[in-house]
Amino acid sequence: MVMFIFTTCSATCPLLNAKLVSVQRDLGSEATNVIFFAAITVDPLHDTPATLKTYAEAYRADMSHFVFLTRSIRQIEDVSRRYAVFREAQPSGDVDHTFLTSLIDRSGTLRVQYLGTKFDTEEFLHDVRSPLEERP
């Protein structure tokens, strides 16, 4: 699972992060079969590794299966573009970006994408579990 966030977001990012941490908890022991949940910052100038760690701890994400990633602005722009995520820093300090959550299976195949935060959690859990139930 890959999503794009920034830690100073006061609107959608906190909702999305809370929802996905909840999904992680709902998976329970099944979470070990999920490679990882990855939250990539769209604000690498502000979101340092220490900032992301504090953010993750505030949401009580299980860091054995949930990573919060940052890189250089160029690398963030590249990965955003590869996922077709729009991102644009604003003078206010906010970063406009597409609220996209992507589920990718172990072979690297994009399985499904969710836009926004209003997706059904049960459907999401089903989509996460589906590749786990398939034969290799």
Cβ–Cβ under 8 Å, residues 103 and 127 = yes
The whole-chain average pLDDT of the chain stands at: 86
| Residues ≥6 apart with Cβ < 8 Å to 78 | none
Burial of residue 109 (number of CB atoms within 10 Å: 0-12, 13-18, 19+)? exposed
Q: What is the pTM of this model?
A: 0.86
The pLDDT score that the predictor gives to residue 24 is 82
Q: How many CA atoms lie within 13 A of 31 on its CB side?
A: 18
Q: Is the pLDDT of residue 49 over 90?
A: yes
Q: Domains (ranges, CATH) in the chain?
A: 2-133 (3.40.30.10)
Cα–Cα dist 113/121, whole Å: 13
Give 11-44 pLDDT, tens digit per residue: 888 888 888 888 888 887 776 666 678 999 999 9
Convert the pLDDT of each residue in 51-61 to its tens digit. 999 999 998 88
Cβ(114)–Cβ(124) below 8 Å: yes
